Each structure stands twice: as C-alpha cells, then as structure tokens.
Structure 1
Amino acid sequence: MNSLVDLSTASVLRFGPFAFHLRQRLILEGDRQLRMGGRALDILQVLVERAGRVVSKEQLIALVWPTSVVEDINLRVHIAALRRALGDGENGQRYIVNVPQCGYSFVAPVQGDSVAQVVFESLQPPQHNLPARLTPVTGRDSLVGGLVRQLPLCRLMTVTGPAGVGKSTVALRAAELLLQHFRDGVWRVDLALIDGTASLPDALLHALNTDFPALAARHALLVLDNADHWREACREVLETLLAAAPRLAVLVTSREALQVSLESVQHVPPLAVPGVSACCRVEEAMAFSAVQLLVSRARARQHGFTLREQDLPAVREICRRLDGLPLAIELAAAQIDALALVGLHAQLDNGLQWLSFGRRTAVPRHQSMSAALDWGCRHLSDQERRVLQRLAVFKTAFTLDAAMAVISCAQMPPSMLAAAVERLAAKSLLTVERGSGVVRYRLLNTTRRYLGELPADSGGSAELERRHARYMGRTHDGSDVRLAEQLVQQ
C-alpha cells in the first residue's frame, strides 16, 4: 500500500476498478464516469489519501466543512452515498469501514499516478439539471438519508410541509445523492415557472427536451418542484406516466399530498428549537438544528461572529418565534450586520415586514416570509381563508371542539367548519399534534403574524376574542383560571 507521501503528490488515485482524477474532480470506473456530489468527493479524497489509516469523524468534518456547523449524521449520509456509489460490500470488496468510537478508514489498496492518461473531452457530461447548491443543508441529514434509502424502491414520493420549511432544499439534496443510482440521470422541473395557461404534459416534455416515448423508457428520477398549484394536473399526468414508465421514479414537493396510487408522503418538520432549559451552555444550544442554521448564516454574513452564553436567551426566542423555519431564520440572519442579535430579537414583535431581505437571486416567494405565505394561501377558497383567519385567535394548540365553540356561526356550521379545518391541515397551514387520544391543531407563529396583517375578517375580531376568552375560562379583566393548561400546551 502506498504511503501518505506517495499519494499526496499523485494526480490520479487508483483503487479496485476506479480511477480518481483529483484535478478534474472526476471518478471513472473503466470508461464510465461516476456521478457524485462535491462533499462526497471531498470525503473520499481525504480517506483515499490516508488509505490504511483511521480518520476521526472530527478530523473529517474539519477538513471537509472547515467553515460550517455540521452534525455527525451529515457525515454518515455522505459515507453511505459513497459506499453505494462504489458498490462497497458487493462481491466481497470493501472500501470504507467504520471503526467504532474512532472514525473511518479506507481499506482497499491504493496506487498513485502522477500523470492522467484519459481524454476528458470524450466523457459524457453529468446527467442532470439540478441547480448548484450555494449553502450547506443544515439539520436535514436524517430526513435526506431516509429519502435516499426509499426512493430507489419507491415510484412516487411527495415531500410536504408548510411555507418556508425547506421542502425543495430537502428534495434537491436527496436528488444530488441519487445521481449515481439513475442511469439516465435526475431531472428537475420547477412547476412554479410554468405558465398557468399551459398544458402540464406539454410543459414537462418541453422542459425535459424529450417526447413521451423517450421519457417512458428512461431509468431516471423526475423532480417536480413546487407542485402546489398544479396538484390536479399532476395527479392525471403521473397516473399515466408511472403506468407507462416502469423505471421512472418521481419526487414531488408540495404543501399537500397528491393522493394518487403508489404515492408515499414524507412530511418535513421545522428545525429543532431549544427549550428554556437547553439554553444554559453554548454547546447545548448548538445541538439544535435551528440554532446551527442561525449561527452558520450569521457567520457567513458577519466575519468573526461567535455565539456567547449571554446571547442564548435571545437566540432561543428568535428560533422559537420563527417556528424553526429555515427560510425565516435565513431572512433574519441576513440582517445581523445591521441589527445584531439584540436587534433581531427586538424585531420579533414587529410583524413579518422585517423578514423581507432575502437573496436577490432567490425566487420572489423566497425573498420575504410574507411572499412565501402569499404563495401558500393564494389558492385557498374564500371559506378556507375565512376559517384560517378566524383560527388566529388561538395562540396555542386547540382542539376541533374548541374551534367550533369559538369561531362557528350561522354562515359556518360545525360540519362545514370541521371539513375546512381538515383541509387546512392537509395543506400544511395547520400543524397537527396527536397524543393521548386527542388531536390538536396549531397555527405557526409566522402564519398567525401573517394573518394579523391581512384586512380584518368580517366576523369581527373583537367578538372572536370574547368567545375565546369565555371558552378558555377567562374574565374580561384578563385573568385566566386555566393558565396551567395553556402552559402545558406551550
């Protein structure tokens, strides 16, 4: 086996049937190019250059993610993708092994060449049209890893969740890691960019530059991003396409499941937010993905940013009031230069208008939190919009019985109200909490703020507040005999 010095001067690292061309960032199996992401290549290079040695998880993370906050599970997802791409374990050949409590080691023999002897111009370009990822994905490694494991076996997966939770980020990261699996590549179509008057089948074929017979013959992954407003058309197209294309898999992002045959649904929850007791030490707070994202984006905006113990109450409140939503946290972090943490914390009571300074290159609905919620509420019926706005009176989780007692009226009888609440939950505009045989619903803080900035509902907000106070056992002077129950709900 070559020594570290020999391999460190090589242009090409060879192991098994593979040749890793370092300068071109390219791996060949014979004359076939392997497709894998940049982080996976970084990890592989570190391990191969240190073949035969154990590299600790901490050292790998420091070398591959020198400026980012990264969880161990992120590393495990990439290692799993590498093993799958290399066929690790097939036919008895091992490449990367886990050394318990120590790290990882590349165990196959490695040879180094100083000169590449391949004509790179003849290689087939990567089979995908995925957008370049500008920032690391934080707190989603377990979720992404699950999608990567399921998708090769699942024909149709729909990724659902509320506005700003990062459905597209999760789906596109999983698609990156699956490039090697699909012989004919991974192809994304952003349905938000398709003219509403167009035929969806024609628009898809035009975006993919193919015809239906060719698409049906592909072994490929099709990513239909932002399918919210094309739900009915998607159902019809996918029923036909999946029946005609047995080797095609489809990954959809939408607030709401399509409810078609073969569909599996993966809900994307908000990032983990620390409770009060977890804000005693920086190390404890940094175990929560919402804090990791805020700190990571703050460091990108403000050189030398350091999270201090005196900052923890403000950071915890920022993450909690922004519901752990990645978009909201990123929009807040974008202003840290101007406002600092104390300023961000002070803005929390000022509605959503301050969350309006996203990347100029982002699509319009991602440049502000209000725009993201506008997109999500755009196609609600008048009844659904009225119910949602009236539900904003509940500042904590509520049952269907509570909703009926507080907001039902002659124009909105209990049966109609119950159906509307279920539809809003299905559209990811209400969070559903199940426990002890009781189903509760909750409006995210950001959604409640958004609704509060809309024109007042004709039902009368003052009357709704009085009904809510009576239901919760409050007197009109603001005392609350059911305070303990509310604190438990919080």
Structure 2
Amino acid sequence: MFGMDNHNDSNPASVLRFGPYAFHLRQRLILEGDRQLRMGGRALDILQLLVERAGRVVTKEQLIAWVWPTSVVEEINLRVHIAALRRALRDGENGQRYIVNVPQCGYSFIAPVHHDSIGQVVFESLQAPQHNLPARLTPVTGRDALVGGLVRQMPLCRLMTVTGPAGVGKTTVALRVAELLLEHFRDGVWRVDLALVDDTTPLLEHILNTLDVDLATLTSRHALLVLDNCEHLREQCRAVVRRLLDAGPRLSVLATSREALQLGLETLQPLRPLTVPKSSALLSVQEAMSYSAVQLFVSRARTRQQGFTLREQDLAAVCDICRKLDGLPLAIELAVTQIDALALVGLQAQLGNCLQLLSHGRRTAVPRHQTLTAALDWSYQCLGEQEQLALQRLSMFKKAFTLEDALSASTCAQLPASALVAVIAQLAGKSLLAVEQGSALVRYRMLNTTRSYASAQIAPSDFDYRHVQSGSRASSGLLAEQFVE
C-alpha cells in the first residue's frame, strides 16, 4: 500500500531491538529491560513502520495512510504521536537519537536495529498499561493542534479544566489527551465520570471506590486523574481537588466542566466549536475540507455510507448543515445518523427544527450524549430559576447582542436589570453564551442549538418575545430584526 513494501506479514522478525529497547511485534509491546513502556496503539503502529524501515525515509503521507487508512486527519495528529514516541524513548537524551524529521518529506528511524526471528517469551505477568480509559472507537477530528498543546502543557501544571458548551467535545478531547499521556505518568491515568454521581454521594469516597485505592495510596502516586463532567458537582469538586492536590505533590488533575472550578492552581482551556465555512464563501471541495466541521461530517458520513465522498454539488448543503449546527461535534454526529433516511437535501431541510432532528439517539452513548436535547437538559437543569428565565428571554436574539440590548428587551419583574447583568455573566461562565470581544463593546451570542432549546422552554403564557414593549430601544428596527426568524 502506498509504496510500503515488506511490512509486518513478510518480516520474519518477531522482536526488533534498538538501544535498550525490545519491540515485541506479536505482543505489541516494548520493553526496556523488564519494564514495559506505555503507549497507545497508533503510536505503536507509527513506531513499527519506522523501525522496520530503519535508515529509510517514510513520508508523512505514507504514515498517515497506514495508521489512519479510513479517516481524514491533519498532519498535526501525526506530529503529536511522533512527539509522544520521542518522550517515551527519551529520544535525544545522552546523545542517543531515534526518530529524526526530514524537512518537507517525513521521518526516519536512524538508530541501529537488530532483528530476532525467535524472541524471548513475554509472560502475561508483565504489568499492563495502567489506566481505565474507555476504548476509542472513532478518530478525534479537528482537535489536533489543541490536543498537542494540552499534551505539552499537562505535565507542567497540576490542574487543567477543559470548558465549553454542551456537545462541543470536552470529554473526547480530555480522553484523547489522557491517552497520549499514558507513558508520562508512571502510576497511570484514571478517569472518574461524575455524570453518574448525584450531589448526595460523598465525592472523595466515590473517587477512591472507583479507583479501588485509599487516599494515602492515591496521593502518593505519580498519576493523572481525569474528572469528567464536573459542572453539577462544582462545589464538591473544588473542595476535593484542592484536598487531593495539597496531599499529592505528584498528582495531576484534568477536569471537564461547562464552567471553571475556580481554584488557584487552575489552568483553563476553553473548547470552541469546530470551524465552519462562512455563508458568503465560495469554496472548492479542497477548501471546504480545510474546515474541521466539514471534516467531521465527511468522516462520519463515510461510516454510514460506504464510498461517501464530498462532491461539488454537495458543498452548499454540507456547509449549511455544519453552520446551522454551530460546528458542534455531537450535533454533527447525530445529524449524520439520519443521512441514510433523509439524504443530504432532506437533512438540510429538517434543520429548521434541529432539536427534533437531533432527537434520534446513539444507543451506545451515555444518556446525556444520546441526543442533543439530553445534553442541553443536563446544562439547563443545573441552572437557577433566574438563569433559566434569562436564557429563555435571550433566546429571542438571532445574532450577537450587547448588554444594553439584553437589558432593553429582557428585564421583567422576576428579572430586574440589576439581576440580569449578573445572570448574563453567569450564563457566559457556564458556556451557554459565547462572548465576542469587539473593539468597543462586548457582545454575546447564543448558539443556534441552544437558542432553539431555550425558546422551546418558554411557557405560552409567559412572554411573547415577538412583541416588544413600545418605546424601548428593543423596538427599533435595528434590534427588532434579530427577534424573528
């Protein structure tokens, strides 16, 4: 395939030795003496290809085609794995080099390699990689640069929180980062899904029970703890994380939450939606595929329809679908499940009621990720009454709006102006409003999917957002054009 001859099947060697390492091909593990190196499956695929062709250049295209044969990935994904391999092999320490970059071409494995046709027996008693991460069934699309940055930052910070709106892919990114950091944390990477915990459960006790350790054992380890879905237990999480980090100097925490935990050691990583083409853009297929939302749509469509390709005549529909779904990975993935029944044109036509379209769930996903409505329910139910009311009233705005716009249109007896200012800041902090910093004014914007959901929560007797009080600035033509689809 792609000029790559004599790969594993025709190579009689079962063990490839280089430096202090032994790469056991059949068992797919690497030993340094009797210590097993921890690295992911794709990293092993890349290393095997390079080691079997030691002394030769393997192009980037060949590596990507071999490791990701059915997926659309960016080159940064390859670079992240190469960097992880170099860290695992301590490439460059004591003058020993293994993998070098050949500019504008690819990579080459330059250390001497010895081939053994009969390798030493590797017993099952060898320590397995220490983690409880779920198996990743699909590639991570459009997040290579972000993931690479987090992989580099995480070993240098104690607490990283990935924040963002429902469906943006916080869990996906965190688990990918954790997977790439397996070889860095000597005592493993451990995930605790807090979506399964209610506020009556002692959180620290739940974490220790999940990992089957006591507090002294956990805090004495060089490990990464992934706390997933912290938003509904924010106060408990803040207290527990502070206690763990104070007690465990080599323990690091990677959290996902729709809002920051607000701890002194916390580094925030806001997660934005995938990139989408502007409605005014006239694109070729190649240009459209440079947008990560389109990449994800095409990648997932290929799993539904064998041989699916993005054609010129499909560009307008696919780009429109990605825009109306805000570039949210969960929304795009759910929409693609309907492509067999509706085809592209039908899928595009149904986006006027995107929540109904996205109500068809993924039965293998956790409940909050089975439908977009479930994901938004999860956020909405965590809000206070004033926050829920403000979200409903702000759903009138189709476009970005200023604080003055919001005060003119949304104040009421239950939500006076003095309270609304604070509530808008809270909604932004909880990733339900996006903040756009302009040269003069701060503007807020609600995602289309969130706006549809919030509008659907308005009781018929509550407040007709299609009619605004006369005499207010909101009744001007400048603002009123935002209210009605």
Task: Give the TM-score normalised by the residue count of structure 2.
Answer: 0.95
User: What residue in structure 2 maps to residue 78 of structure 1?
Assistant: 81
- Alignment pair present for 1:68 and 2:71: yes
Match of 2:179 among 140, 159, 176: 176
User: What residue in structure 2 maps to residue 164 of structure 1?
Assistant: 167
Match of 2:203 among 200, 203, 206: 200
Is the partner of 2:357 in helix, strand or coil? coil
Provide the C-alpha distance between the structure 1 equivalents of 2:407 and 2:337, rounded to a whole number of angstroms: 41
User: What residue in structure 2 maps to residue 118 of structure 1?
Assistant: 121
Shift of 1:349: 0.6
Change (3 A) 1:469 1:392: farther
Provide the C-alpha distance between the structure 2 equivalents of 1:110 and 1:17, rounded to a whole number of angstroms: 11
- Alignment pair present for 1:311 and 2:305: no
User: What residue in structure 2 maps to residue 253 of structure 1?
Assistant: 256
Cα deviation digits, residues 206-230 of structure 1 (max 9, x gap): 1110111111111100000111111
- Alignment pair present for 1:147 and 2:143: no
Residue 323 of structure 1 contacts residue 444 of structure 1 at CA under 8 Å; is this kept in 2? yes
Is the partner of 1:353 in helix, strand or coil? helix
- Alignment pair present for 1:321 and 2:329: no
Change (3 A) 1:231 1:196: same
User: What residue in structure 2 maps to residue 386 of structure 1?
Assistant: 389
Count, aligned residues: 477
Provide the C-alpha distance between the structure 2 equivalents of 1:177 and 1:112, rounded to a whole number of angstroms: 28
Provide the C-alpha distance between the structure 1 equivalents of 2:141 and 2:468, rounded to a whole number of angstroms: 39
Farther-moved stretch of structure 1 (437-446 vs 352-361): 352-361
Match of 1:127 among 125, 130, 133: 130
User: What residue in structure 1 maps to residue 360 of structure 2?
Assistant: 357
Residue 428 of structure 2 contacts residue 434 of structure 2 at CA under 8 Å; is this kept in 1? yes
Change (3 A) 1:399 1:118: same
Residue 300 of structure 2 contacts residue 336 of structure 2 at CA under 8 Å; is this kept in 1? yes
Farther-moved stretch of structure 1 (380-389 vs 14-23): 14-23
User: What residue in structure 2 maps to residue 232 of structure 1?
Assistant: 235
Change (3 A) 1:385 1:28: same
Residue 36 of structure 2 contacts residue 126 of structure 2 at CA under 8 Å; is this kept in 1? yes
Shift of 1:482: 9.4
User: What residue in structure 2 maps to residue 449 of structure 1?
Assistant: 452
Shift of 1:78: 0.9
User: What residue in structure 1 maps to residue 61 of structure 2?
Assistant: 58
Is the partner of 2:356 in helix, strand or coil? coil
Change (3 A) 1:216 1:64: same
Shift of 1:411: 3.3
Provide the C-alpha distance between the structure 1 equivalents of 2:47 and 2:343, rounded to a whole number of angstroms: 38
Q: Any residues of structure 2 matched to 1:213-362 within 5 Å, and which?
A: 213-276=216-279, 278-362=281-365
Residue 474 of structure 2 contacts residue 480 of structure 2 at CA under 8 Å; is this kept in 1? no
Provide the C-alpha distance between the structure 2 equivalents of 1:418 and 1:350, rounded to a whole number of angstroms: 30
Provide the C-alpha distance between the structure 1 equivalents of 2:45 and 2:403, rounded to a whole number of angstroms: 51
Provide the C-alpha distance between the structure 2 equivalents of 1:54 and 1:277, rounded to a whole number of angstroms: 42
Change (3 A) 1:462 1:361: closer
- Alignment pair present for 1:26 and 2:43: no
Aligned residue identity for 2:32 = E
Task: Give the TM-score normalised by the residue count of structure 1.
Answer: 0.94
Cα deviation digits, residues 340-386 of structure 1 (max 9, x gap): 11111011012401112232110111111100000011121110000
Residue 278 of structure 1 contacts residue 285 of structure 1 at CA under 8 Å; is this kept in 2? no
User: What residue in structure 2 maps to residue 477 of structure 1?
Assistant: none
Aligned residue identity for 1:343 = G
Is the partner of 1:126 in helix, strand or coil? coil
Shift of 1:458: 5.2
Shift of 1:198: 1.2
Provide the C-alpha distance between the structure 1 equivalents of 2:222 and 2:193, rounded to a whole number of angstroms: 20
Change (3 A) 1:5 1:178: closer
Provide the C-alpha distance between the structure 2 equivalents of 1:86 and 1:437, rounded to a whole number of angstroms: 51
Residue 277 of structure 2 contacts residue 288 of structure 2 at CA under 8 Å; is this kept in 1? yes
Cα deviation digits, residues 47-68 of structure 1 (max 9, x gap): 1111111111111111111110
Provide the C-alpha distance between the structure 2 equivalents of 1:96 and 1:251, rounded to a whole number of angstroms: 29
Cα deviation digits, residues 228-279 of structure 1 (max 9, x gap): 1110001111111111100000010000000012111101100010123544
Shift of 1:401: 1.1
Aligned residue identity for 1:77 = V
Change (3 A) 1:464 1:234: farther
Provide the C-alpha distance between the structure 1 equivalents of 2:12 and 2:437, rounded to a whole number of angstroms: 58
Provide the C-alpha distance between the structure 2 equivalents of 1:5 and 1:421, rounded to a whole number of angstroms: 58
User: What residue in structure 2 maps to residue 370 of structure 1?
Assistant: 373
Change (3 A) 1:102 1:457: same
Provide the C-alpha distance between the structure 2 equivalents of 1:468 and 1:364, rounded to a whole number of angstroms: 46
Provide the C-alpha distance between the structure 2 equivalents of 1:183 and 1:111, rounded to a whole number of angstroms: 28
Q: Percent identity?
A: 70
Aligned residue identity for 1:229 = H
Match of 2:112 among 98, 101, 109: 109
Change (3 A) 1:312 1:192: same
Farther-moved stretch of structure 1 (195-204 vs 407-416): 407-416
Structure 1 residues without counterparts, runs of 5 or longer? 475-479
